[in-house]
Amino acid sequence: MHRLPAADARRLLPRYLAEPAFFPLVAAVLEGRQDGVVWADDPADPRQAYVEHRFGFAQAFGAPNPEFEAALAGYLTARAFPVEKVRLYTPLLPACLAAPAFQPMRSERQRYRLAAPAATAAPGEARPATAADAAELQARFGIVTRFWRSEADFIGGAQAQLIHREGRIAALCYAAATGGGRAEIDVLTDPDCRRQGLARQVVGAFIAACGTAGLEPVWDAFTNNLPSIRTALSMGFVPSGPAYAFFTIPRAAGTP
């Protein structure tokens, strides 16, 4: 595997966006919007690549290359990652992940795309997040710099919408990343404020903000996360393709 500099990695973006399933967190690395590493089979003429976001979300794409996939298998098996865990999207499953050692790390996720916003998706109390909210967002949820490079990047790019109750943030919907014209939805609700319809309000406001920004909101959830799936369906999202394998591979103990 050959690590590509950012300029060379960016050349892979059109090929990645042409894949049947692409994810904003991976596209954001190729676009240079968020940080990560890109490995390829051939630095001069890459045909298969592996992208790993700095938070661990990753994907291999391109024409299968047995030599490259063998090297990728070695990397994933050694588990000496710079990240705490690799969170591997595999709508296109590299052959190396069929090995028995990876099966306990396998789960299933489902992709959803917005068919039509729900008629009841009024934002209600929701409002855009501002710089004044950044300290609380980071202290309570750790999201401001989890994916985005800075507070300014988060406030300017995440389209974050929130609701305050009793002096604190009760619900939040934001984009973990934007890439290829899509925004990756993440929704958080304070445990004490659930079952009050707040998630629907912030998601409705987020959908409206994405429309203004020219972004397509997309939703991704584990197939056993029924509350997330119910919210997605109620807001007008529909499944996009079949469920796919997702691997959560922890870093080996003792890895610096």
* H/E element, 71: helix 66-78
Q: Phi and psi of 179, rounded to 5°?
A: -170, 140
Tokens of 234: 């109620």
Sign of CA dihedral 145, 222, 201, 211: positive
Q: Does residue 255 lie in a domain region? A: no
Domain range for 154? 127-235
Q: Does residue 85 lie in a domain region? A: yes
Looking at the DSSP bridge assignments, the partners of residue 39 are 3, 50
Q: Does residue 216 lie in a domain region? A: yes
Q: How many domains does the chain have?
A: 2
Per-residue pLDDT of the chain (256 residues; tens, 9 = 90+): 899 998 899 999 999 999 888 999 999 999 999 999 999 999 989 999 999 999 999 999 998 888 998 899 899 988 888 899 999 999 777 777 888 888 999 999 999 999 977 655 555 689 999 999 999 999 989 999 999 999 999 999 999 999 988 888 889 999 999 999 999 999 998 877 777 788 899 999 999 999 999 999 999 999 999 999 999 999 999 999 999 999 999 998 877 6
Tokens of 29: 């690395």
Length of the chain in residues, anyone? 256
C-alpha distances in Å from residue 183, one per residue of 65, 100, 206, 214, 217: 30, 34, 10, 10, 5
CATH at 45: 3.40.630
Q: Does residue 120 lie in a domain region? A: no
57, 89 Cβ separation under 8 angstroms = yes
CATH at 207: 3.40.630.30
Tokens of 73: 């298998």
